[in-house]
A and B are shown apart, each in its own frame.
Chain A
Amino acid sequence: MTLMTEQTSNALPAADPPAGGPPTASVPTADPPATAAPAAPQAAPIAQAGSSHARTIAVAEHAAVTIEHVAVGVEIEHLNAYYGQHLVLRDITLSVRPNSVTAIIGPSGCGKSTLIRCLNRMHEVTPGARVEGQVRLDGDPIYAPGVDPVVVRQRIGMVFQRPNPFPTMSIFDNVVAGLKLAGIRDRALLEQVAERSLRRAALWDEVHDKLHAPGGALSGGQQQRLCIARAIAVEPEVILMDEPASALDPMSTLRIEELIDALRTSYTIVIVTHNMQQAARVSDRTAFLTVGEDRAGYLVEEGPTAQIFTNPRRRLTEDYISGRFG
């Protein structure tokens, strides 16, 4: 929370949260953003392109209003990532602040996705892939000997570029898959978690009457929200999103962005996007990566999103955000 005030204060000095106000624990019933989400479905696609500036401010307001659940931060320290002998990420040091949305932007091939996959040890799932350096979750090193990647992934959820609901499972089973496969059988609890997660993912109203239909029968945008519901059902502390809207239409993209905005009250979010407007709309801080002569990606600069997009410190960043390359 203290980190948040620093970053939001330059945008909205008056909107600081009341001092000493303890963060409300994540109450299942509290989900105002979910109901507010389907605001103006007709107007949205047209208004979307032009309203990015207005939304950025709205986002900042939201972030300053309530934090339901204090999430944890992620520290990336001198991270190198390889595929076999090939270095794809060089010496990344980056701090992800709790209860914030950090966007990672950069040209194709700069290792954005690899970076985010290093944060929950998904990188090593690819044969031949390995990592040097360290990533700390709330201070704890996730690349220490003896750390089980399964446990890391329970604390750091992930949403992928393409919606990937489990093909054999119903909507309900998809949402509670993480709990069920962890051995939880309590039906009442599962139902409660399913409803809460689907409400948070702004999908409940659309699916509550067909929870036992196959997850694959939903539209692409609904499937992606189903995947977000599935990720938050296991109550991670950090959510990683790898271009979560790149396979979706503008309307679905808008809904996902509204969702990200709402989720920051409980989670730390890292989002990879190739869409700079999206980064500007949803994120508090932005990290810009690019690819060097040796084809390895590296971090150019990181800072408050407003600053990166209006007054970047580095020439390379300015060239990229103004569309001169990438």
Chain B
Amino acid sequence: MSATVDPLRIPGRNIRRRRATDRVMGALLAVAAVVAVVPLVLVFAYVLIQGLPALNVPLLTQSPMPAGFPGGGVAPAVGGTLVMVGLGTLLGTPVAVLAGIYIREYAGSRGATAIRFLVDVLAGVPTIAVGLFAYGLVVVPMGTFSAIAGAIALAVIILPIVARVTDEMLGLVPGSVREAAYALGIPPWKTIVRVVLPAAASGIVTGILLGVARIAGETAPLIFTALGNQRVSTSLTEPMDALPLRIWVYATGPYDSWHQQAWAASLLLVGLVLIFSLLTRFVLRRRGPAGR
């Protein structure tokens, strides 16, 4: 090496090759990102194209026609999904949030690790097994398939999702905020309820939304709990229809009119989840200076 070497250049490396590698790698990452988004767009587009022609008012207001007859709608399924997802969320979420608070604030590091592991295992249990659990717990003793059995199965599915999100979101609230409250002579439980929980609220609500979207699309746990119902039912102790169940029945059935309605029902389900989460986000943004 002579004295004329540019001191700003790294000796022994080809800057042009490094730039080329950088460009190739950057392009690869961009492609991967696009590939990750493509299925979402395709699913939406496909459901929209296939479902829109059959989406009409009777679909929302009428009960299914006898097999093979054209017309009718999926009103029992729409109502049933709203009822069971709502009830499942109401049953599962409070327990889940409290469990999340316990894990983060009270369990201690060893206890928290153990409970977290168990909750993760529950989250990993196949949903059809959760359905079987609800079947044994509720359907067999009651002697009948019922909406409440379906709701309980859905509650068991949303529970670990919301519990872990609550746990994580509470963990994101800085310790300095807790200490500020303690230093004011605020008892620990009140610090959690009035200071820490509000600071984590938007994240927890986002987690609940994810959970709701997840259970709204669940089919397997409803097969031998809620069973499905051709007619609108308002009783929690009788079988109830749900959109995923109806889609499953229609999509696997032999009639073209069923296939059409299965597409339209899919569009309804996707739309319901989407509208619900947008609404909640909007409401959250409107109130409270919190944000993040």
Contacts and interface: CB of A to CB of B under 8 A. Distances in A.
Interface of A: 120, 122, 125, 127, 150-155, 157-158, 160, 162, 164-170, 177-178, 181-182, 213-214, 227, 230-231, 234
Contacts of B180: 160, 164-166, 227, 230
A268 B201 CA distance: 38
Given A166-B199, A167-B290, A168-B288, A160 B176 contact: yes
A248 to B, nearest CB: 15
10 tightest Cβ-Cβ pairs between the two chains A and B: A154-B185, A158-B183, A178-B184, A164-B176, A214-B289, A153-B185, A168-B198, A164-B180, A168-B290, A181-B186
Interface string B196-235: 0011010000000000000000000000000000000000
B289 A170 contact: yes
B281 interface: no
Interface of B: 108-109, 174, 176-187, 190, 194-195, 198-199, 201, 288-290
Contacts of B108: 127
B198 A181 contact: no
11 contacts: A122-B182, A160-B179, A166-B177, A166-B195, A168-B201, A170-B289, A178-B186, A182-B185, A213-B289, A227-B180, A234-B185
Contacts of B177: 164, 166-167
Contacts of B184: 153-154, 157, 177-178, 181, 230-231, 234
Contacts of A182: 185-186
Contacts of A177: 181, 184, 186, 195
Contacts of A151: 185
B176 A162 contact: yes
Most buried by A among B108, B176, B185, B201: B185
B194 A153 contact: no
A231 B183 contact: yes
Contacts of B183: 120, 122, 153, 157-158, 160, 231
Consensus secondary structure, chain B interface: helix
A215 to B, nearest CB: 9
B107 to A, nearest CB: 12
B186 A125 contact: no
A169 B185 CA distance: 18
Contacts of B289: 168-170, 213-214
B182 to A, nearest CB: 6
Nearest to A152: B185
B103 to A, nearest CB: 15
Given A169-B289, A231-B183, 8 more contacts: A122-B179, A152-B185, A164-B179, A166-B180, A167-B177, A168-B198, A178-B186, A234-B184
Contacts of A127: 108-109
A170 B201 CA distance: 16
Contacts of A160: 176, 179-180, 183
A153 B290 contact: no
A178 B186 CA distance: 7
A72 to B, nearest CB: 16
A125 B15 CA distance: 54
A290 B177 CA distance: 29
A19 to B, nearest CB: 36
Nearest to B178: A125
Nearest to B202: A168
B38 to A, nearest CB: 37
Contacts of B288: 168
Contacts of A178: 184-186
Contacts of A150: 185-187
Given A127-B109, A164-B177, A166-B177, A181 B182 contact: no
A230 B177 CA distance: 13
Contacts of B186: 150, 177-178, 181-182
A20 to B, nearest CB: 35
A154 B178 CA distance: 15
A177 B185 CA distance: 10
A242 B198 CA distance: 26
B199 A167 contact: yes
A157 B180 CA distance: 10
Nearest to B292: A167
Contacts of B174: 164
A233 to B, nearest CB: 8
A178 B181 CA distance: 8
A268 to B, nearest CB: 16
A158 B179 CA distance: 9
Contacts of B181: 166, 177, 181
Nearest to A213: B289
Contacts of B190: 181
A225 to B, nearest CB: 14
A74 B183 CA distance: 17
A207 B195 CA distance: 22
B140 to A, nearest CB: 45
A85 B290 CA distance: 40
A22 B271 CA distance: 74
A181 B183 CA distance: 13
A181 B174 CA distance: 19
A154 B195 CA distance: 17
Nearest to B291: A214
A234 B185 CA distance: 9
Nearest to B174: A164
B288 to A, nearest CB: 7
A122 B178 CA distance: 11
Nearest to B288: A168
Nearest to A162: B176
